[in-house]
Structure formats: structure tokens, C-alpha cells
Amino acid sequence: MHREFSSSYIAQFVIEKDRMYTTNANRTETGEVITPDNFRPNPKNPIIAAFFRNIWLADELGSGVRNLYRYGEIYSGQTPQLIDGDVFRIIVPLDDNYSFDALIGNKQSANKAQDKAQDKAQNKAQNKAQR
């Protein structure tokens, strides 16, 4: 529903180590970086968008920009970029220190360290009891 169908540009979704980005054909409106402060929703394909909203596969117009800015900083600690142009670009920085997997890994590492410490204490207590 975001696609500009009059262009043959192939949409892309790319994940790299330090960022993920999308590019898509676009009917440019401002040609500038979009922020929640300067954003004006403009439906590219309103009939398609309405259909997807009615079957609960899309949110209200403009919610994607708000969500990207709201959750992008939580997810990566940095602000995403939305660049309006003939090719629309969204760039979301990635940072392993903010990822869910990193949090799980940190908890697992902490649990392993705690388990080792407990095992060591139990072994010490058993050795003392055997003497």
C-alpha cells in the first residue's frame, strides 16, 4: 500500500550488521527527512490501505512513522531516518547491546556465573564435610 506502482523500481529490505533499511518507489512530497514533527500523512494508495485496515492487517494512516520513532530508539538507542524522495528510504540503526538476544545472552551469562559460584560453594562445603 506504500508502493508507487507507476515506477518499476524494485523495493528492497536489507539487514546489515549495524542497520536495516528499506527502499521503495515513491511519489515525493517534500524531499526532506521525515520526523514526527513535520510529518503529514499522504496515502499513496488509499483504496488498498482502506482494504488492509478493514481486515485488520494495517493500522491507521501515519502510525508507522510514530511507531518507528517511538520504538526505534528503544530498540537501537538511536533515531531512525525516514527520507522522502523519488526513492523513499527508511534506515533503522541496529546495536547488539540493545537487542533482545543480547539481553537474553547477558541474563544467561549472569545465570551461568551464578551457577558456577553456587557449584563452587557446594563443592567447598562438601569437601569441608568430608574432612
DSSP state of 96: G
DSSP state of 55: T
| Per-residue pLDDT tens over the stretch 96-131 | 777 666 656 555 555 555 556 566 667 666 766 666
Domain-by-domain residue ranges, the chain?
12-95, 99-131
Instruction: For residue 92, give the C-alpha cell.
Output: 533503522
Q: CB neighbours of 47 closer than 8 A, spacing ≥ 6?
A: none
Q: Which H/E stretch holds residue 66?
A: helix 63-76
Q: Is the pTM of the predicted complex or chain greater than 0.85?
A: no
Q: Is the dihedral of CA 77, 87, 8, 58 positive or negative?
A: positive
Give the pLDDT confidence score for residue 99 in this predicted structure: 64
Contact between 34 and 41 under an 8 Å Cβ cutoff? The reply is no
